[in-house]
Structure 1
Amino acid sequence: METSTAKIRRRLEKDGWYLDRHGAGHDIYRHPEIEGIVTLPRHTQVSPLVARSIARKAGWTD
């Protein structure tokens, strides 16, 4: 699982997620067809556990 927030952000946007709003230290993404939100921390790297959680919420299987 990729842990670079820049690469995760690019993949989210490529898959149709859009930036809904900026939180204090996070960016909140929404998808027009998928229920819920994805919260992406504004760090250079995220832990593998956080990356796995983002992937699960985004519906990624790989």
Structure 2
Amino acid sequence: MSLYNHDWRKVIKILKKFGFDVTRQRGSHLILKKDGKIISVPRHSPIAMPTLRSILIQAGISENDFVKFL
């Protein structure tokens, strides 16, 4: 699978499997935290591939590891 056209709910679910917790919501974005890392995920679908790639870089998750959970 690729990083194209993923629903924000699916992305949140996968990030939770990596240990991130939703701490709050600010407008149309969810804020997640883990070990001092803070990432923001937009609540609209689909999440654009460049945006998802940026989220994964901020989270310290490789694309291959993310795709394994799809």
TM-score, reference length from structure 1: 0.84
- Larger fraction in helix: 2
- 1:22 alignment partner in structure 2: 25
**What are the residue-to-residue correspondences of 1:31-50 with 2, within 5 Å?**
31=34, 33=35, 35-50=36-51
Q: Percent identity?
A: 27
CA RMSD of aligned residues (A): 1.3
1:36 positional shift = 2.5
Count of paired positions: 60
SS in 2 for 1:7: helix
- 1:54 alignment partner in structure 2: 55
Structure 2: stretches of 5+ with no match in the other structure: 65-70
TM-score, reference length from structure 2: 0.76
Contact 2:37-2:59 within 8 A present in 1 as well: no
